[in-house]
Structure 1
Amino acid sequence: MVRPRERTATLPAPTLTDLEPVNRESTAAIIARQLREAIMNGSLPPGTQLGETELAGQFEVSRGPLREAMQRLVSEGLLRSERHRGLFVIDLEPEDVRDIYAARLAIEREAVLRVLRGDPERVADLLAEAVRDMAAATDGAQVGEADIRFHETLVAASESKRLQRMARTLLIETRMCLSALRRTYSSDEERVTEHKRITEAIRIGDEDAALTLLEAHMDDAVRRLAPGSTLRSPAVSRPQT
């Protein structure tokens, strides 16, 4: 007598809801984050050479995770490798500065247009909070953080995931620029005024004024950071308000 073949129970394939979150950050990721922050806040200024021996001793790690962390920053464009010399924090050349702000202008211009089609008063209230924090700041780091938050808030208010994702990729280089930018203003009040004007133009729904002020704000930063450079082309320059 032939016995019927026994069926083997098939376990269901795991779904995303079955996967457990990984909370531990790798050593390389921690080192990369700390180096990234040091580059952003100016503790590791442009052109600084990173020595493996010194950093490994400072972090109290072997060279393996340190090298992995540094390669992450190379791939992010924050470190450059020079043959037979080592790794250096990138220098932002005038063309780099112009490129960063041209990309930011394209993203934030579209964000403004989307905000104006939605609830500009609500967004203006959020932007005004960042402006107030900028005015109340007592040091350059606080001014820079409020400045970044203003522009992050503007892009987030567009409710476009892609605009937000593109803006995030420019965040670190923008922070590097802001560190140098602050030294070009006679007072922080100038920066506060620029952001306040953009906020008020958005509040009243004045598209031409908001876009013109935003472009002027970005162009002014380029002129300050890279004298002789500009975002504007005479053929396409917007009228001033």
Structure 2
Amino acid sequence: MSNYIEPLAQESTPSIIADKLRMAIGHGELKPGAQLGEADLARKLGVSRGPLREGMQRLTQEGLLVSIRNRGLFVVDMTPDDIRDMYLAREAIERAAARKIHMGDTEGPGTVLLEIVDKMSYAEGDPAAVGEIDIEFHEALVRLAESPRLSRMHQTFITETRMCIHALAETYATADFRVREHYALAEAIRIGNADFADKLLIAHMDDAITRLINR
């Protein structure tokens, strides 16, 4: 597993620190419910406490960290209700992104998404790799909409998705259903079938909730 909590190799800023912590949370280096020690993190990252506090404040505003009075700062713990709410928000963003893609030429974006699905099929048998390619697909879907605001909002929910997938890896041990679902969605976008793509996205999110909660 990559080590994200390590000294920064470039000038530290709250944004860079927030990015490092976000990746550490998403990839399970900072686990759900874990308490963040300011002094320890500052030492590991090689930064002063001022920029570190600003970076952590950004993640608190995003909902990835939670401050508990008289106890400290903790990584959010994803309950079933949190998972449902997160996927509700992701669904809204990704459906909006798909609609925007369908306002223009869809063959290019659809082809990009199909190439990612090919990578997913080659990675079958490696749940961690399939999980990362799954996330890559959805990041690409939103990026291809060319909406900076949708991309910014999506970033937090993708981190929470990573938390779920890494914490519940056994639930996603089988890749074949994900290849099929992503292929159908990518092909619907490629041929410009907006209504079908929208229905597939809704079903895909509902299926993910079921697999993550009913484990």
Name the TM tier (shorter chain).
0.7 to 0.9
Matched to 2:155, the amino acid is R
Counterpart for residue 100 of structure 1: 86
Identity fraction in percent: 56
Q: 2:12, 2:47 within 8 Å by CA — same for their partners in 1? A: no
Which position in structure 2 is the counterpart of 1:179?
Answer: 166
Question: Would you say the 8 A contact 1:111–1:155 is kept in 2?
Answer: yes
Is 2:70 aligned against 1:84?
yes
CA deviation after TM superposition for structure 1 residue 176, in Å: 2.0
What SS is found at the alignment partner of 1:128? Answer: helix
- What do you get for the CA RMSD once the two structures are aligned? 2.6
Secondary structure of the equivalent of 2:187? helix
Task: Give the length in aligned residue pairs.
Answer: 205
8 Å contact kept, 2:114–2:186: yes
Output the TM-score relative to the length of structure 1: 0.72
**Secondary structure of the equivalent of 1:25?**
coil
Preserved contact between residue 42 and residue 176 of structure 1 (Cα < 8 Å): yes
Which amino acid is the alignment partner of residue 39 of structure 1? I
What do the CA deviations read for 1:43-97 (whole angstroms, capped 9, x no partner)? 1110111223433443355544443433332233211112222211101222221
Does residue 1:200 correspond to 2:200, yes or no?
no
**What SS class does the counterpart of residue 85 from structure 2 fall into?**
helix
After superposition, give the CA deviation of every residue in 1:117-147 in whole Å (9 maximum; x if it has no partner). 4222222211011111222236444323322
Rounded to whole Å, the distance in 1 between the matches of 2:19 and 2:86 is 22
Residue 104 of structure 2 is aligned to residue 115 of structure 1: no
Name the counterpart of 1:209. 196
Aligned-residue offset at 1:219: 0.5
Distance 1:116 1:187, change over 3 A: same
In the other structure, the counterpart of 1:40 is 26
Deviates more, 1:76-85 or 1:130-139: 130-139
Instruction: Give runs of aligned pairs for residues 1-241 of structure 1, distance below 5 A.
Output: 25-26=11-12, 28-137=14-123, 139-180=126-167, 182-227=169-214
Aligned-pair distance for 1:179? 2.4
Higher RCO (CA < 8 A, seq sep 6+): 2
Letter in 1 for 2:20: Q
CA distance in structure 2 between the aligned counterparts of 1:165 and 1:29, rounded to whole angstroms: 13
Superposition TM-score, scaled by structure 2 size? 0.80
Structure 2 match to 1:14: none
Pick closer, same or farther for the CA change 1:26–1:183 going to 2, 3 Å: same
Larger helix fraction of residues = 2
- Unaligned runs of 5+ residues in structure 2 are 1-9
Following superposition, the deviation at residue 181 of structure 1 comes to 5.2
Counterpart residue identity of residue 62, structure 2 = E
The structure with the largest alpha-carbon Rg is 1
The letter of the residue matching 1:212 is K
Please, which moves more after superposition, 56-65 or 168-177?
A: 56-65
Q: Does the 8 A contact of 1:181 with 1:224 survive in 2?
A: no
Q: Conserved in 2, the CA contact under 8 Å of 1:41 and 1:141?
A: no
Residues 110 and 62 (structure 1), Cα distance of their counterparts in 2 relative to 1, 3 Å cut: closer
C-alpha distance in 2 between matches for 1:166 and 1:61: 27
